[in-house]
Structure 1
């Protein structure tokens, strides 16, 4: 069973959401029921591969134990950089084995189960926030529940552990819960239209008009693919957030009208928000602080530009080691660095930034830069070069 794809999933999800809604209506805790439903969907999604289920169990035990051990050491030793990086490596090891393990070119792949990449973000976030002293206690139930919470299992949005735990143990007042369900029904309806109708139209356009390597095919692959990717992924995200609401978890929104952005920084504040904000908080800001603390670079624009490029390169590599993902990451890193320099150093941006004509031009340039970037991401740019 594929989550948010197969008809069977939607039937099961609709039926299994009803008891959760009743529990919420009567102001009863939903967490145990939600945990059981998540276990069921994990089993249904992976039942054809016993190896995947075994690796998932190993992964969950591994991440929980190493987080608890690191928390204990952090409280005993304080902030030790060596210990921190050791446990960051241990947390990242399953994903590295999955993507780059020695068995990659055989039928056997380490830690090959649904959602490992998104689970890794949550595991690493916990280690980072333990190091920062923001997490004082690891609650085993909410930790495992966060990892396997079925609406966001395969493609996010990426939640934060402390925020998730608050929702898990909070009993929502009836009026507030019913409002949440209403919002969820709207997001679910909109998500279905996005994913099953609008994205399908753009996908058919690509199939019909995107063949070959002429000018028409180039623009179809550039614009139709960009819209297809957005409506497909945003549609999934809306449905995932909606389903989360039914189970009393207010998962963060993942998209906020990204194609109205007037610069690249605004775009990344609207596109795949949970991912971009994760990298902003846990990669970009730390690279910036480390460079500043080193004292080797004092120019703040050089520092910001370096951090943007490294940050986006890592994001590209997270998608994969194929050349188009690496180029995509570097492309956006350079664009963000250029945006920072342009907005802070060139006087006409400050002078005209509120001018409607200037804003329209900024939108047009940003929109086309974004669409070209998505063409790079698709891996199809090479056939037009």
Structure 2
């Protein structure tokens, strides 16, 4: 089940909200846990057991990792923290990467090992990182272990962020698990945020995603250099509005139930460097790798050579986290190399050129990066880059490119505007100048309109992919 579905919007969400707000406070976490398990089991009933096993492992290892605070128990605490690392990384290696390793071993050594053909558990990359960060934080002494299994299970399974994040750290919502207080104003903010996210996903991402799907499926004879760039531009917007829309919906849903999740996106396409881009894109993932990989490896404390190595390790793992395919690894290393260049010499040079040049530089590299990310098939990836840079034997411009450009021109304009903080700044100005008009009439009316239009799109359009569902 995904948020942008009629089943979720008109059946699951109303039912969970009604149940949640009529039960006494002592039962609210239990209600969230039960409905979250139903939400997950909707698509993968068997793998609910795997997730419950991960929660149990986190619960037990967290309690023992907490013993580091007691003299003489440091070794025991370390062993249980290490067990949590082995369990979570082992799960990912087995379910997500086993066939990748087998396939490459067969290709490299000419062996004939049979692929396992396992279905990837939905959201395993996210909840594995959450349970792992919980135990590590307990071991570090940053939080105390959670003695209430129900509360820990609620944290891990919380359906707003279960499938595709943001990656919520336990320390962020530790107090909220027990002491949150829902309010009408917070619920209202949650609905508005959810409406914005749903509009991003259904109205913007789905529409431009249809263009990328059409261009990707077109024959080589139908394409041109311009249409190839239109395709990858479409994907650039699709993945942003798809994923940031889902994060907005998750944050909005969290607010409805009294939780405050941290932001996951901050207008990444207005960045003036790739370094800035990765401070604005998928913030929870970047922060996770910084805190649990980069800094433990030594960060920037062991000289420039070691720092460069640490950066490349982090970006190799970042790419590999996204999928068991070479294009994701190349995508991670691609950004790692650019970030190294910016850190060593390019960053200083960028600051000396006009802002518009910085924007063009960043956007071009970001778009090329999504060109690597979009195609898991190596031959399709290579062919697309040939087409993009004029080596595919294509015309520069043709009638089909004109047709796509004309049909989606308005959509592209809307996407460009929505990628900037223009609407947010306009809302802030209206809040100052006409708070009652904006807060009581315009903002609720806009949210209601987004919900109605999004629901209409869902009812009349079967094209509703979710790109981060596979991660």
Fold equivalence (TM over 0.5): yes
Bigger shift: residues 33-42 or 217-226: 33-42
Change (3 A) 1:79 1:341: farther
Alpha-carbon shift at residue 251 of structure 1 (Å): 1.8
Indicate conservation of the 8 Å contact 1:17/1:246, yes or no: no
1:69 corresponds, among 64, 71, 77, to: 64
TM-score, length basis structure 2: 0.69
Alpha-carbon shift at residue 226 of structure 1 (Å): 0.6
1:215 corresponds, among 210, 221, 225, to: 225
Q: How does 1:302-313 map to 2 (within 5 A)?
A: 302-313=305-316
Alpha-carbon shift at residue 128 of structure 1 (Å): 2.0
1:190 corresponds, among 191, 196, 218, to: 196
Bigger shift: residues 27-36 or 153-162: 27-36
* Cα deviations by residue, 1:205-258 (Å, 9 ceiling, x for unpaired): 223444336412420232111101111111111111111111111122221111
Alpha-carbon shift at residue 137 of structure 1 (Å): 2.1
1:238 corresponds, among 248, 264, 278, to: 248
Change (3 A) 1:28 1:178: farther
Bigger shift: residues 191-200 or 132-141: 132-141
CA–CA distance in 2 between the matches of 1:272 and 1:205?
24
Bigger shift: residues 99-108 or 271-280: 99-108
Q: Does 1:95 align with 2:104?
A: no
Q: Tell me the residue number matched to 2:262.
A: 252
Secondary structure of 1:287's aligned partner = coil
Q: Does 1:370 align with 2:375?
A: no
Q: Tell me the residue number matched to 1:166.
A: 175
Alpha-carbon shift at residue 304 of structure 1 (Å): 3.3
* Cα deviations by residue, 1:256-302 (Å, 9 ceiling, x for unpaired): 1110011112111111111111112221222234x74xxxx533xx3
CA–CA distance in 1 between the matches of 2:214 and 2:43?
32
Secondary structure of 2:275's aligned partner = helix
TM-score, length basis structure 1: 0.84
CA–CA distance in 2 between the matches of 1:374 and 1:287?
28
CA–CA distance in 2 between the matches of 1:246 and 1:121?
24
Change (3 A) 1:262 1:91: same
Q: Does 1:201 align with 2:207?
A: yes
Q: Does 1:331 align with 2:347?
A: no
Alpha-carbon shift at residue 122 of structure 1 (Å): 0.8
CA–CA distance in 1 between the matches of 2:75 and 2:336?
31
CA–CA distance in 2 between the matches of 1:21 and 1:89?
36
Change (3 A) 1:333 1:41: same
Alpha-carbon shift at residue 164 of structure 1 (Å): 1.9
Stretches of structure 1 that go unaligned for 5 or more consecutive residues are none
In our comparison, the structure showing a higher alpha carbon Rg is 2
Indicate conservation of the 8 Å contact 1:151/1:240, yes or no: yes
Secondary structure of 2:297's aligned partner = helix
Q: Which has the higher contact order (CA 8 A, sep 6+)?
A: 2
* Cα deviations by residue, 1:87-143 (Å, 9 ceiling, x for unpaired): 42233222222123489824555xx53221111111211232133221232232222
* Cα deviations by residue, 1:349-372 (Å, 9 ceiling, x for unpaired): 55x3xxxx6122111111111111
1:285 corresponds, among 284, 295, 300, to: 295
Secondary structure of 2:298's aligned partner = helix
2:41 corresponds, among 36, 40, 43, to: 43
Change (3 A) 1:121 1:200: same
CA–CA distance in 1 between the matches of 2:281 and 2:155?
23
Change (3 A) 1:62 1:171: closer
CA–CA distance in 2 between the matches of 1:90 and 1:160?
18
Indicate conservation of the 8 Å contact 1:194/1:232, yes or no: yes
Stretches of structure 2 that go unaligned for 5 or more consecutive residues are 103-113, 387-471
Q: Does 1:265 align with 2:275?
A: yes
* Aligned-CA RMSD value: 2.8
Indicate conservation of the 8 Å contact 1:122/1:161, yes or no: yes
CA–CA distance in 1 between the matches of 2:346 and 2:322?
29
